[in-house]
Amino acid sequence: MTDLLITGGTVVDGTGAAPVRADVAVTGGRVEAIGDLAGRPAARTLDASGHAVTPGFVDVHTHSDLTLLSGPEAHSAVRQGVTSVVVGNCGLGVAPVAADPAALRAAAGYLDLDPAVRWTWSDLPGYLAALDAARPSVNVAALVAHIPLRAAAVGFADRPAGAAELDRMRGLLGDALAAGAAGVSTGLVYAPACYARDDELLALGRTAAEHGRLFAWHVRDYADGLLDSVRQALAVASATGCRTQISHLVAVGRRNHGSVARALDLIDDARAGGADVAFDVYPYLAGNAPLSQLLPDWAQEGGEDPMRGRLADPDVRARVADEWRDMPLTWDDITVSRVPDGPAGSGDGDGEAGGAIVGRTIAEIAAAAGTDPSRVALDLAAEHGNGVQMIAAGRGERDLLDALAHPAAVIGSDGQALDPDGPTGGGAPHPRSYGCFPRLFAEYARRPGGLPLAEAVRKCTSAPAERAGLADRGVLREGAVADVAVFDTERIADRATFASPQRFPDGIRAVVVGGRPVVEDGVHGGARPGEILRIP
């Protein structure tokens, strides 16, 4: 007997093929049949009349590395239709653990919303085993992040890696890829990854290429230096042949609006030359990052503690403030979204003084205090280090539309699986963690001239699954894993806003992971059938 029969819906299979009216039968966690299956005996039936039945969304760009251990129900992800997430993006990651675990944990402060999560692992297999033990509601694949690799091999100093250190990084990366990691990621604004020279990035690219895995790039600069930064990633792609993913392609700062089209020209040229290059994007006009990302590389040297100490020096503060004078963003563009409760830990995200500043711009906080905005930002970074998060606006919709329309664009939220009622529920997070995928359909597919439904679904399913190397996922066909989203194409919409981000979306009828319903009619039933995906 069939385990689960999803009846009466319109199947959008994830490949970009036209929607068709069909039932979907699921048995043993796999799609058993698709077609007119009326009368087929089934243990459970799910009525999808009037709804689209699609593969579950594959979120190729997340920072849920630690939040899944805090809240394995993955509420904010699965309730928007996400069934698989890729962690370890932007060079930020948790394995392998370096000689100084506390320094690595501080460097990954952006991921670290719940101080109660214990780091029980030393390497990627150990981290994947911790995920196995947590039994998340969604499937998880992991990239190996550059920060832990460099922290282990070189430490936190601003200097080139020596030959033996490059070998050590390649060895650690190769081991993690052999253990099933989906690829490697870098984040060239975050210490110590920002100290990598070209030879180091080439070494990572070569190792990724040897294993046929992805190299994901948070490039050096998304503002004035966007095009040169994209060129750097493409040069490594062409020199090494590695599969390449540009993370969250965007142009930051009003003076750079329009640059995305030029970056796409570079990507098109590389693709025409045979490079396997794509990119991800999320449908919002603001980003989210650690506030310390604004600091120059030299100010972050040595790790979080030296950085915080340095920011007490008046000469250092004057020098940073001087560099900030030419920043592409204004202090009105930057809103404080999270402040940890203690200097080294994170609590409810509102901070000791955070209640007064979370949700307000740096400019507003400075005006209220009668002080200079750069002083506010320096004080926050000095007091709380990498745990202070910001929402950064100043992006243009034309750039977003150009990126979304490109055939190589896939959707990646850049968000985190959060639980509004748990330790990860504090602060004022970017609404993408709750509404990224519904927002794509509501704002960029349903509008006149928007993405066709089948193409929007492809960008959320088979295309990102292919980037991450997830076989038999992201498509609905006989034999594929039964990760399924059922939603109302007229009603699906994000409800999370910047002012009120902890809101689940509308229009999601059901979310099925590995053949088991996890969400029905907006209610998470508590099932945790996610698999930890090791790429063979």
Q: Which residues bind Zn ion (CB under 5 A)?
A: 89-90, 414
Give the nearer residue to Zn ion in terms of CB position, either 89 or 207: 89
Query: Can you tell me the distance from the alpha carbon of 436 to that of 433, in angstroms, rounded to the nearest whole number?
Result: 6
Give the nearest distance from C-beta 8 to Zn ion in angstroms. Answer: 38
Give the nearest distance from C-beta 242 to Zn ion in angstroms. Answer: 19
Give the nearer residue to Zn ion in terms of CB position, either 89 or 137: 89
Give the nearer residue to Zn ion in terms of CB position, either 280 or 494: 280
DSSP-assigned letter for residue 42: E
Query: Can you tell me the distance from the alpha carbon of 14 to that of 475, in angstroms, rounded to the nearest whole number?
Result: 5
Give the nearest distance from C-beta 122 to Zn ion in angstroms. Answer: 24
Give the nearer residue to Zn ion in terms of CB position, either 11 or 436: 436
Give the nearer residue to Zn ion in terms of CB position, either 26 or 140: 140
Going 443 to 448 to 449 to 451, the CA torsion angle's sign is: positive
Closest by CA to 393, choosing from 438, 436, 339, 330, is 330
Give the nearest distance from C-beta 530 to Zn ion in angstroms. Answer: 21
Contact indicator for 506, 446 with CB cutoff of 8 Å: no
Provide φ and ψ at 282, rounded to 5°.
-125, 150
Which residue lies nearest Zn ion, judged by its C-beta?
90
Give the nearer residue to Zn ion in terms of CB position, either 383 or 414: 414
Residue 6, token pair as written in the block: 């999803």
Give the nearer residue to Zn ion in terms of CB position, either 90 or 267: 90
Residue 384, token pair as written in the block: 């709380």
Crossing angle of the two packed helices 373-384 and 314-324, in degrees rounded to 10: 120
Give the nearest distance from C-beta 293 to Zn ion in angstroms. Answer: 11
Give the nearest distance from C-beta 90 to Zn ion in angstroms. Answer: 4
Give the nearest distance from C-beta 247 to Zn ion in angstroms. Answer: 6
Give the nearest distance from C-beta 485 to Zn ion in angstroms. Answer: 23
Give the nearest distance from C-beta 316 to Zn ion in angstroms. Answer: 27
Give the nearest distance from C-beta 187 to Zn ion in angstroms. Answer: 7
Residue 278, token pair as written in the block: 């794509």
Task: Annotate 309-326 with b (16+ C-beta within 10 A) or e (fewer).
Answer: ebbeeeebbeebeeebee
Give the nearest distance from C-beta 154 to Zn ion in angstroms. Answer: 22
Closest by CA to 335, choosing from 364, 293, 312, 307, is 364
Give the nearer residue to Zn ion in terms of CB position, either 304 or 414: 414
Contact indicator for 275, 244 with CB cutoff of 8 Å: yes
Give the nearest distance from C-beta 93 to Zn ion in angstroms. Answer: 11
Contact indicator for 266, 228 with CB cutoff of 8 Å: no
Residue 349, token pair as written in the block: 């995200």
Give the nearer residue to Zn ion in terms of CB position, either 414 or 466: 414
Please give the C-alpha separations between residue 220 and each of 47, 194, 249, 390, 456, in angstroms, as whole numbers.
48, 8, 12, 18, 29
Give the nearer residue to Zn ion in terms of CB position, either 290 or 328: 290
Q: What angle do CA 390, 98, 419 make, to 5 degrees?
A: 40
Give the nearer residue to Zn ion in terms of CB position, either 89 or 389: 89
Give the nearer residue to Zn ion in terms of CB position, either 333 or 414: 414
Q: Three-class SS string for 76-123?
A: HHHCCCEEEEEECHHHCCCCCCCCCHHHHHHHCHHHCCCCCCCCCCCC
The secondary structure of 267-329 as a DSSP string is HHHHHHTT--EEEEE-S-S-EEEEGGGGS-GGGGTT-HHHHHHHTT-HHHHHHHHHHHTT-SS
Query: Can you tell me the distance from the alpha carbon of 331 to that of 373, in angstroms, rounded to the nearest whole number?
Result: 7
Preceding omega of 96 cis (within 30 degrees of 0): yes
Give the nearest distance from C-beta 20 to Zn ion in angstroms. Answer: 36
Q: Three-class SS string for 328-350?
A: CCCCCCEEEEEECCCCCCCCCCE
Give the nearer residue to Zn ion in terms of CB position, either 149 or 513: 149
HSE, side-chain direction, 13 A CA sphere, residue 400: 17
Give the nearer residue to Zn ion in terms of CB position, either 9 or 91: 91
Give the nearest distance from C-beta 109 to Zn ion in angstroms. Answer: 14
